[in-house]
Amino acid sequence: MSQQIDASNAVYTTDEYGRPFIILREQARKTRTHGVEAIKQVQSARTMWALSHILAARTVSNIVRTSLGPRGLDKIMISPDGEITVTNDGATILGQMEVEHQIAKLLVQLSKSQDDEVGDGTTGVVEPIAYLLLLVLAGALLEQCEALLDRGIHPIRIADGFDKACSVAVAELDRISDVMEFSRDKTENLMKASMTSLGSKIVSKEHRQFAQIAVDAVLQVADIERRDVPFDLIKVTSKVGGSLADTSLIRGVLIDKDFSHPQMPSVVRNAKLAILTCPFEPPRPKTKHHLDIGSVEEFRKLREYEKEKFEGMVKMVKDSGANLVICQWGFDDEANHLLMQNKLPAVRWVGGPEIELIAIATQGRIVPRFEDLTAAKLGTAGVVREVSFGTTKEKMLVIEECANTRAVTIFVRGSNKMAPIQIVDEAKRALHDAICAVRNLVVDNRVVYGGGAADISCSIAVNKAADEIASIEQYAMRAFSSALDAIPLSLAENSGLQPIDTLTSLKSRQIGEKNSKLGVDCKGLGTNDMKEQFVYDPLVGKRQQYLLATQLVRAVLKIDDVITAGEMEE
């Protein structure tokens, strides 16, 4: 049976061997249609992946959103062993959260990079509010991404638009920033910034005292000319007992140890410290060994040998001119007795970080062998004394008037750690917040105003810049502008205000009055001028929040699949 083929509906061609064959146009059209559908399916799959990642990231953001601001709500964190922590501290919430989704884990890890940029990567001192603002802004940006993806805009074009908007926002921050003048004699502005950072914390009852401690500690260790604050010179330690009002700043080093013998003097003046990492014990092989003693005479010889070695060690310490021994390791009763007889006070079992801080403060050298000990390697301090704290008369050692006067210790007191709100831990976290706020101002004394004022001003600037762009990135820039509004909206909502009305009024007033200091009146003081309320944000921290949030969203948008190592699809 023959079939008529319409020439207008067919294409005649040959294969690589010259054999003719016919392609019907309907088949070609069908093939093209299937190709278009396949492309749409791939694009849809990518969009679904992006939306699932956005949902996971938004979940983390929404958890911490209600803790933003001076009237933010607290969270109950329950550890795997049932320990309860009540806190509104951003760093604590993120540190104790256990998330399963890969993108949510990425969000938490990237937000902690704020530690390296704004705080200090060595000691972990970071402004916890920066965590919250970073997550809230990132969550708002990801929420805006959903609408843009639904409109068919490619994720890379969205990320490019966010980058342009972030550049405009950072430039606006530089424009509206003010310089906060301060000096070692005039610390009023630093005190205001420090008190602002402590306003929503559990130490608010003693916030002036804690703010003063933070300012004094930072200025004690800071190099104002170089604008450098070495955090390794600031040690924060705590002891349960007493009240928050008993917290004090010690211009020196405080260690939770006492002298090794009760008959040693409790005060050593003009101390010359031998800082040792070698133990007071006879030398022995580093490999496995054992010693067999078969008679009383052999035991006496062993005792005399040990005594001779101990006396030699004590003599080397005395000959160096030291009158105080700080040892990383312990020593037995015989060595301890010899030290006491030779009027050589000693402190044993001093931890590695503490012994390093003592060496920095006293400008001494850590000596690994007795034979290397010389007068030039000794540390110096004006006075070393034992002090008692609390009703149990627990003793601690204070090293004051050190050769390096920049070393300080903050001693935090508080009630029992087993309380529902762990006073001591919360006080230490709040103090870290204040220290970091003051440190940021010493490094860069430019500030922008809080309460969402800077975010509203940047939102207006980004929206205005979007109107001047003809490319598709203008949609992403307007979305970035809307995301910046999430911070004042959250502050208003957490303060019991009408979010939309508050934001609309503030935007209108900022544009009409050309005043970038107008923000959300979270405390109900009757004024929206954040300069009058002394609500400041360090410029370096605010700028980094925008940059990191934008980088975080770009990283999420560029992910189209999650592959687990060691697993293959069959």
Residue with tokens 């922008």: 448
Q: Is 246 a catalytic residue?
A: no
Known catalytic residue at 232:
no
Using DSSP, state whether 203 is helix, strand or coil.
helix
Torsion of CA 35, 36, 37, 39, to 10 degrees: 90
Going by their DSSP bridges, the two strands 394-402 and 252-255 should be labelled as antiparallel
Q: Are 66 and 72 in contact (CB under 8 A)?
A: yes
Separation of alpha carbons 493 and 478, rounded Å: 23
Q: Which residue among 66, 123, 237, 405 is the active-site one?
A: 123
- Going by the DSSP 8-state scheme, the letter that residue 74 receives in this structure is P
Distance CA 336, CA 328 (A): 14
- Alpha-carbon distance of 198 to 108, in angstroms, equals 24
31 catalytic residue (yes or no): no
Amino acid letter, residue 11:
V
Structure tokens given for 288: 């496995």
- Catalytic one of 89, 115, 120, 163: 89
Closest to 55 (Cα-Cα) out of 145, 162, 119: 145
Instruction: Please tell me which residue in 31, 33, 122, 527 is annotated as part of the active site.
Output: 122
Amino acid at 532: E
Burial 191-220 (b: 16+ CB within 10 A, else e): bebbbbbbbbbbbeebbebbbbbbbbbbbb
Q: Which structure tokens are listed for 230? A: 């070495």
Select which of 115, 163, 425, 433 is catalytic.
433
Specify whether 89 is catalytic. yes
- Burial class (CB within 10 angstroms; exposed 0-12, middle 13-18, buried 19+) of 524: exposed
- Please tell me the number of Cα atoms within 13 Å of 263 on its side-chain side: 8
Residues recognised as catalytic = 89, 122-123, 433
